[in-house]
Chain A
Amino acid sequence: MSYVKTVRTRDLPPPPTESGLIGWLRHNLFSSWLNTSMTFVGLAVLLWTLPPFLGWALFKANWLGDSQNACVQPMGNPDGACWVFIKVRFGMLMYGFYPEVDRWRIDYAFLLLAASAGPLLMAGLLSPKHRDERILMVVPSLAVPVILALHGAGPASLALAYLAAPTLLSRLGTRTGKLPPSTGFFGRASAIVAASILAYWAGVLAAQTLQTGLEGVIGLVAGFLVFLLPTLRRSSSAMWRLALLLTVYPCIAYAFFIGGGFGLRYVETDLWGGMFLTLVLAGVGITASFPIGVLLALGRRSNMPVIRALCIGFIELIRGVPLISVLFMVSVMLPLTLPEGTHINKLLRALVGVSLFYAAYMAEVVRGGLQAIPRGQYEAAEALGFRYWKSLRLVILPQALRLVIPGITNTVLGLAKDTTLVAVINLMDLLGILKSALADSNWLGFTKEAYVFAGLAFWVICFGISRTSMRLEKRLRYGNR
């Protein structure tokens, strides 16, 4: 048997036409006559569109300078994009007419948001060893002494209070806020609500006596805290962070944006604009429309005929009409329906319109999730003696919402894009400000640059949202992998 090899010979490599670059090309671009010809058509289209666009946007573009002269003959290249225009107007596009010296307030509020929302969205990004999500809080914390030095104690204390809150409260929450067990659900709930309302008024009074301004904000923060302490008593610090993000953060951010207390100058909402306003609209719209949408979805599946009919009517009416008509309605009709002399802020009207409109879409998405939960889950929760809200909170909603993350993302994306429509009711969001920047007689004719830039900005935001949601979806897919 000496002719039998005892050592296995090495495998031959696959032929060069099947592997590597050539193999890939053969398989993906030139696998058949049809495929080859389509490749050439595609290449032709690319050659026809891409070089002129890249030449305009990059190679021939004008980047340097600070006036229109930099982009026209003899100094600049008129065939290229004039990014100087965007550069000069950048502050306006980002902040609208917000006073320049106060723009740091917006930056800082968004920094706080990024630091507190980041870990919740991207947990798992940091390696499991260094899972301490508080690490992101370092940057806004380091900024506090700077604020203290530059802008005084008022804003610094606002920032510090929010930064320190989650750790302090989750410690405090484990010890306090216990009510006697015999009070029952209703007793407990009414005690908590009453205490929070009391806290609200106490906060308002305290703010008035100290003359800090921003009474409403302080009252709300106090009320929320008193509400959250017993409610979230034994929750994890992540839960605390989420709850604070949804309740206290908006108050703090609003305080920073509007000012009028804590050593911050008052900036009325008519001056808000640009990307900042777009983000405010999108943020408030998303956070408001989601809970309203969940409630509407529950109402639509409720056993109570009156509630069900109202919810169906609202959802179908809103989904049947365009957003512009709803915005027209809140801007023209809403003031009519209020008592004489009541004035609602234009921004608030837009927020109400956008939130209610998207709540109807959110409701349909959530309903899809609720219907996908097997009946057995509802029955099991009932068999365990869970009440309606408890079974929803612990059994139904966690499963239902996880199922419809893609749908929620789509709605959120739609909302983010549709915030641009507020330009119709004369709010200065990114597109509104762009239009007024284009009307400047020193900078005529740079419309392409303006819209390409705005398009890029929206693209980054929307693409970011959709990728984040994919990550979230993957992370939350526990059982049904």
Chain B
Amino acid sequence: MSKRFPNPRLGPADEPRPSLPVRAVNNPRVRAVCIQVAVFAVLVFALAAAVFNTAHNLRKAGIASGFEFLGHVSGFDIGQSLIEYSRSSTYARVFVVGLLNTLLVSTVSIFFSTLIGFFLGILRLSPNWLLNRMALVYVEVVRNVPLLLQVFFWYIAILSPLPGPRQAIDFFGAVFLCNRGLIIPRPVLDEGSRWVILAVVVAVVGVVGLKIWGDRRQRLTGRRAPVLLLSLLLVAGLPMIAMVATGYPVRWELPNLKGFNFLGGITLQPEFTALVLALTLYTAGFIAENVRAGIQAVPTGQIEAARSLGFRPGKILRLVVIPQAMRVIIPPLTSQHLTLVKNSSLAVVIGYPDLMAVFAGTALNQTGQAVEIIAITMLVYLVISLVISAVMNVYDRKMAIRER
């Protein structure tokens, strides 16, 4: 290329100046185009080669590509399923079962890890030396040991050697722990229980309405309504009234030992229990640190200002510290939740039938449709990640500082 280009490095000129001769090889714009074309070409070439090789290898192995296999009968059993499933179900159903199990284990673990994480994070800031050291030891131990090891620990070292149902560890006669898993009471909904559920819903809606009304009244008149007291009354009272009126339709079915096994209650399999325990305790350690960092990020001046305005400690916490701390806590908390969902794929090592184990594991081995199955699995995790971060972004935006 012998053409001369103007030198863009000289920047915008107020008056046209004579452009200095610059060789094409030194012109950033030309170089950018060349580099991009080269990278793109290499990539296209690599992709084409990969596709060609894959097609060739698959043809040799006698595997038809495409998604028809989803309609074929799977022919294997799955230990735990939220929907109806048998070995004569299709691979598409295997996918759904796996996905639901992944979602179940993730949701339960997210709930408990957030709860424990906040608790531990607050303990880390406690003025009590003993508690704060204990929380520190917990966090440092849990965060520095691989999750996989913790999953193995709970599953192989703790839950598997437990005694059988007859010698089950008994928690107040309601929850039992044995080698069959964790057996918990089951809520039984008799006739009329829908009125109770309705009452709960009404109570929740009422509380939200009360809060809005109370805030508005305070803004307009400066007087606070006893929102907390009324809410408690509403939440506790309304379902109670419904229960009494319909004759206690909701009750708990306690597990009890009949022969060699438990009857009644819900049996949470050891795989599920181990996975939830490991995911919860591991993630709680990380969330605790996020919470601690978030609360410490609130400037001391804010707390001092609130104190000088005459706020009581509880109010300082509720009205000054927490709203500002949440703003800092939410983004890392979201990424912890995302990590948890991805980490739930560790189920594969202990045989909990999640998406990775039954679909990208068993189904892949049986059909050999590696490309399609891996692509679907990755896509699912990607979508879950995007959905969680979208939801959290909405919340984050709501909590963000509103500046004038």
Q: Give chain A's interface residues, CB within 8 Å of chain B.
A: 28-29, 31, 35, 38-39, 41-43, 45-46, 186, 303-307, 310, 317, 319-325, 328-329, 332-333, 335-340, 413, 417-418, 420-421, 423-424, 431, 435, 438, 445, 447-448, 450-452, 454-455, 458-459, 462-463, 466
In the bound assembly, the distance between CA atoms of A324 and B56 in angstroms comes to 26
11 residue pairs of the A-B complex, CB under 8 angstroms, read A28-B129, A35-B128, A39-B131, A321-B378, A321-B385, A325-B345, A333-B371, A336-B57, A420-B146, A431-B149, A448-B157
Contacts of A445 in B (CB 8 A): 161
Q: Contact check, A324 vs B129: say whether CB atoms are below 8 A apart.
A: no
Contacts of A324 in B (CB 8 A): 345-346, 348, 356
Contacts of B204 in A (CB 8 A): none
Q: Contact check, A321 vs B382: say whether CB atoms are below 8 A apart.
A: yes
B221 is an interface residue with CB less than 8 A from chain A: no
Of the listed stretches B33-41, B109-117, B212-220, name the one at the interface; the rest are far from the partner chain. Answer: B33-41
Q: Contact check, B25 vs A325: say whether CB atoms are below 8 A apart.
A: no
In the bound assembly, the distance between CA atoms of A435 and B49 in angstroms comes to 39
In the bound assembly, the distance between CA atoms of A306 and B370 in angstroms comes to 29
Contacts of A337 in B (CB 8 A): 49-51, 53-54
Q: Contact check, A329 vs B378: say whether CB atoms are below 8 A apart.
A: yes
Q: Which bucket holds chain B's interface residue count?
A: 35 or more
State which of A42, A303, A329, A417 has its C-beta within 8 Å of the C-beta of B32.
Answer: A303
Tell me the smallest distance from the CB of A301 to a CB of chain B, in Å. 14
| B45-77 near A? 1/0 per residue, CB < 8 Å | 000011101101110100000000000000000
In the bound assembly, the distance between CA atoms of A317 and B374 in angstroms comes to 13
Contacts of A458 in B (CB 8 A): 144-146, 149
Q: Contact check, A306 vs B381: say whether CB atoms are below 8 A apart.
A: no
State which of A186, A322, A418 has its C-beta within 8 Å of the C-beta of B381.
Answer: A322
B343 is an interface residue with CB less than 8 A from chain A: yes
Q: Which residue of A lies closest to B37 (CB)?
A: A306
State which of B35, B134, B147, B360 has its C-beta within 8 Å of the C-beta of A46.
Answer: B134
Known contacts A310-B39, A325-B377, A336-B370: A320-B386 contact under CB 8 Å = yes
Q: Contact check, B146 vs A417: say whether CB atoms are below 8 A apart.
A: yes
| B229-260 near A? 1/0 per residue, CB < 8 Å | 00000000000000000000000000000000
Contacts of B140 in A (CB 8 A): 463
Q: Contact check, B360 vs A325: say whether CB atoms are below 8 A apart.
A: yes
In the bound assembly, the distance between CA atoms of A322 and B344 in angstroms comes to 9
Q: Contact check, B147 vs A417: say whether CB atoms are below 8 A apart.
A: yes
Known contacts A336-B58, A340-B56, A459-B144: A307-B381 contact under CB 8 Å = no
Known contacts A325-B381, A329-B378, A333-B371: A447-B161 contact under CB 8 Å = yes
Contacts of B49 in A (CB 8 A): 337
Q: Contact check, B36 vs A306: say whether CB atoms are below 8 A apart.
A: yes
Told that A336-B58, A452-B153 touch, could you supply 10 new A-B pairs with CB distance under 8 A?
A38-B130, A45-B134, A307-B39, A322-B343, A322-B345, A328-B360, A329-B374, A417-B145, A455-B150, A459-B141
Contacts of B152 in A (CB 8 A): 431, 435, 451
State which of A43, A310, A336 has its C-beta within 8 Å of the C-beta of B371.
Answer: A336
Contacts of A332 in B (CB 8 A): 364, 370, 374
Q: Contact check, B382 vs A320: say whether CB atoms are below 8 A apart.
A: yes
In the bound assembly, the distance between CA atoms of A458 and B141 in angstroms comes to 10
In the bound assembly, the distance between CA atoms of A463 and B142 in angstroms comes to 11
Q: Which residues 15-36 in B have Cβ within 8 Å of A in the complex?
A: 25, 32, 35-36
